[in-house]
Amino acid sequence: MRFENTEYAKHLSFKKEEFKFGTFYITEQFVLSELNEGVHVDLSIAVEIIDRLNKYLKKDQKLGYISNRYNSYSFDPQIWTELSKDYDFLVATAIVSYNQLNHLNATLEKQFFKKSLKRCSSLDEAIKWISNLDDFKN
């Protein structure tokens, strides 16, 4: 399910950023990505995303990241290692998998991401998990 078709999109305040390779939704607690079919996400794409999303980040703000993988695309898992050197605003990641191959890919990515990474079977599960992290409780 796409984010804009959920009840969350009706109730959460968010900004929408469109790229040629996908769409990103920025909320107070998380960034949610929905990438296009067949895209290969490498470091240059990741840096382009972060550069554009930086305009929404407040100083020292922490965010969760949700990857809503309803399309099939490839992702270089070493990006997590590279990004953690220069960018430290992510507290956790949730990957929503809609098939076994995506779930296996998320398992591989978990080896590279040094913070908490949860594999989810629904967008609802991912949003609830990210929203209930201790980092976001007041």
Sequence spans of domains, the chain: 3-136
Q: What is the CATH number of domain 3-136?
A: 3.30.750
The 10s digit of each residue's pLDDT in 40-74 is: 999 899 989 989 998 888 888 889 999 999 898 88
The residue count for the chain: 138
CA atoms within a 13 Å half-sphere pointing along the CA-CB vector of 94: 24
What is the SS3 assignment for 6?
Answer: coil
DSSP 9-78: HHHS--EEEEETTEEEEE-SSEEEEEEPTT-EE-HHHHHHHHHHHGGGPPTT--EEEEEEE-S--EE-TT
> What distance lies between CA 26 and its chain's CA centroid?
10
The 10s digit of each residue's pLDDT in 95-135 is: 999 888 777 777 777 777 778 889 999 999 999 999 998 87
